[in-house]
């Protein structure tokens, strides 16, 4: 697990200057990503995107749900006015099966970089047009059946 987080950190550090995440999974089966997920690590191209607990892009993924329209409903929690607020965000499928469009703090793109569908998922969200909250935020998610979660090692 430590190596996995180190690889994530290095990949994000080396890719900070990229404005577009170009490499995603070739395909993504939405029915396999459905379920409970846990945000384990976050990184951003600009630390101000995550620097306070109430930053708009500092969200914790709780659940992913495919919709009948072949989109993805993302259930998140965020801190707002010192309260934990649960939100639902609809991510619309694009031509690329691993890329979604969302209307959240401006028009954004979510790219699923990698997943094994049960233990981990890497994804990034970035602005597709200039906004006050422009930049890339990436997360490493763990599934409920991750080996680390099963053994209680974190």
> Quick one: pLDDT at residue 33?
92
> Quick one: pLDDT at residue 146?
67
Distance, first Cα to last Cα, the chain? 9
Tokens representing residue 105 in the block: 């703090």
Strands 60-66 and 120-127: unpaired
Whether 53 contacts 64, CB under 8 Å:
no
The whole-number average pLDDT for the span 18-29 is: 61
> Quick one: pLDDT at residue 14?
46
The full set of domains in the chain, from first to last, is 32-151 (2.40.128.20)
More confident residue, 125 or 134: 125
pTM recorded for the entire structure:
0.73
Per-residue pLDDT tens for 25-56?
Answer: 668 999 999 999 999 998 888 877 777 776 77
The whole-number average pLDDT for the span 115-122 is: 93
CA distances from 137 to 20, 44, 93, 118, 154 (A): 11, 4, 19, 22, 23
Report for 52-56, 101-105, 108-112: range of highest mean pLDDT: 108-112
pLDDT tops 90 at residue 65: yes
For residue 87, the Cα-to-chain-centroid distance in whole angstroms is 14
The whole-number average pLDDT for the span 134-152 is: 74
Residues 6+ apart with CB under 8 A from 84: 77, 78
More confident residue, 62 or 78: 62
> Quick one: pLDDT at residue 8?
53
CA distances from 64 to 32, 73, 130, 131 (A): 10, 6, 27, 26
Per-residue pLDDT tens for 73-90?
Answer: 999 998 888 888 899 999
CA distances from 125 to 82, 105, 144, 151 (A): 24, 11, 22, 30
């Amino acid at each position: 697990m430590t190596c996995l987080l180190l690889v994530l950190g290095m990949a994000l550090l080396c890719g900070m200057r990229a404005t577009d995440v170009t490499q995603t999974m070739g395909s993504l089966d939405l029915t396999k990503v459905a379920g409970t997920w846990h945000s384990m690590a976050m990184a951003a191209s600009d630390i101000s995107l995550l620097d306070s607990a109430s930053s708009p892009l500092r969200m914790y993924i709780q659940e992913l749900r495919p919709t009948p329209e072949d989109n993805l409903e993302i259930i998140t929690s965020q801190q707002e006015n010192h309260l934990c607020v649960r939100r639902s965000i609809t991510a619309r499928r694009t031509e690329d099966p691993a890329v979604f469009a969302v209307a959240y703090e401006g028009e954004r793109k979510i790219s699923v970089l990698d997943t094994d569908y049960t233990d981990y998922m890497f994804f990034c969200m970035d602005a597709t047009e200039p906004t006050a909250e422009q930049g890339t935020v990436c997360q490493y998610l763990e599934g409920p059946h991750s080996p680390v979660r099963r053994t209680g090692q974190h």
